[in-house]
Amino acid sequence: MKSTLITRRRAIIAGVASLGGLALARYPKNLPPTYGNLLRMGDTFTYAAQRTLLPGQALVREYSLADLTSFPATGTIDTSGFVTPAMLDAYRQLQNGGFADWRLSVEGLVATPRTFSLGELKQFQARTQITRHTCEEGWTAIGQWTGVPLSLVLAAAGIQPSARFVVFYSLDDWVDSIDLLDALHPQTILAYGMNGRDLPMQHGAPVRLRVEKQMGYKSMKYLHRIVVTDEFDDGGEKGNIQNGWAWYTGI
């Protein structure tokens, strides 16, 4: 006679199997592509582990004015080997006009795609924070940043419930993205001020991103376009992964 008893062992096996199936079915869309690269698989494992184990919106340590340190400027638009003369010219024109003609465009999965001038960004409730910039190279620097929380800008454009990632484009032609958890983090800001003054060119004028829970290179300088998406966008050949770098750098 065929047994129809549901034993505890069977129930556990069925439960684990369906959980695994759910995870497999749900995960790939939400995880960065690995392109079959073992190192990128490790990055993805670290990302999934940190997202699972760490509380979502804990704040990074904030320092005092007395803790400010000197701050090297690396990957500046005028020293980058990837920047074409036309790109640099366009930037110089914006800079000479005091960035009056600069606009930040917010597009994608938002109710109303919008552009913001520097003045419009400064009308939002500002946030000032003194945080540690942690460079993947091994050095750190403490700076004071003033700007508008990214969450306020996204809310003003009407971010849609299906949104999962935010993609950033810079005037020096970089593309990068972060997930919504980091995008909506209270310390993730669009900074237009540094150490009490306008953000200097060397540090990303007129506006740079600050993603305090990740390595420095995620805090993109020279922002000009933000796109909200529901699918992972690794930035293609201009993004981190295809250039051999980790997309998630919370570690």
Partner 1 sequence: MTGHARWVRICHWILTASLLTLAFSGIEILMVHPRLYWGDAGNDLTPALFELPISRNYRHGGFEKATPFFSNAAGPTSATRTYEIFNQNGWGRSLHFLAAWWLVLPGAMYLVGGLFGGHFRSHIWPTAKELAPDSIWGDLRNHLRLRIPQASGGPNYGVLQKAAYSFVIFVAAPLIVLTGLTMSPAVTAAYPFLLRLFGGYGSARTIHFFAFVALLLFVIAHVVMVVKSGFKRQLQAMTVGE
**Residues at the contact surface with partner 1, assessed by CB under 8 A:** 38-43, 45-46, 50, 54-55, 58-61, 63, 67-74, 76, 78-79, 132, 134-142, 194-197, 200, 202-203, 212-215, 243-246, 250-251
For the bound state, the minimum distance from the C-beta of residue 4 to partner 1, rounded and expressed in Å, comes to: 38
| Closer Cβ to partner 1, 14 or 251, answer by number | 251
| Closer Cβ to partner 1, 27 or 139, answer by number | 139
Residue 32 buriedness (CB in 10 A; 0-12 / 13-18 / 19+) = buried
**Counting every residue, how long is the chain?**
251
Q: What are the backbone dihedrals phi and psi of residue 119, each rounded to the nearest 5 degrees, phi first? A: -60, -40
| Closer Cβ to partner 1, 62 or 230, answer by number | 62
Q: Which of 167, 201, 237 is nearest to 80 (CA)?
A: 201
Instruction: In whole angstroms, give the CA distance from residue 42 to residue 143.
Output: 31
Question: Does residue 172 contact residue 92 with C-beta atoms inside 8 Å?
Answer: no
Q: Which two tokens stand for residue 43?
A: 């990055």
For the bound state, the minimum distance from the C-beta of residue 58 to partner 1, rounded and expressed in Å, comes to: 4
- The continuous run of DSSP H or E covering 40 comes out as helix 38-53
For the bound state, the minimum distance from the C-beta of residue 56 to partner 1, rounded and expressed in Å, comes to: 9
For the bound state, the minimum distance from the C-beta of residue 55 to partner 1, rounded and expressed in Å, comes to: 5
For the bound state, the minimum distance from the C-beta of residue 249 to partner 1, rounded and expressed in Å, comes to: 8
| Closer Cβ to partner 1, 108 or 127, answer by number | 127
| Closer Cβ to partner 1, 43 or 110, answer by number | 43
Instruction: In whole angstroms, give the CA distance from residue 111 to residue 40.
Output: 34
DSSP string across 8-19 = HHHHHHHHHHHH
For the bound state, the minimum distance from the C-beta of residue 196 to partner 1, rounded and expressed in Å, comes to: 8
| Closer Cβ to partner 1, 157 or 207, answer by number | 207
The conformation of residue 2, written as its DSSP 8-state character, comes to: -
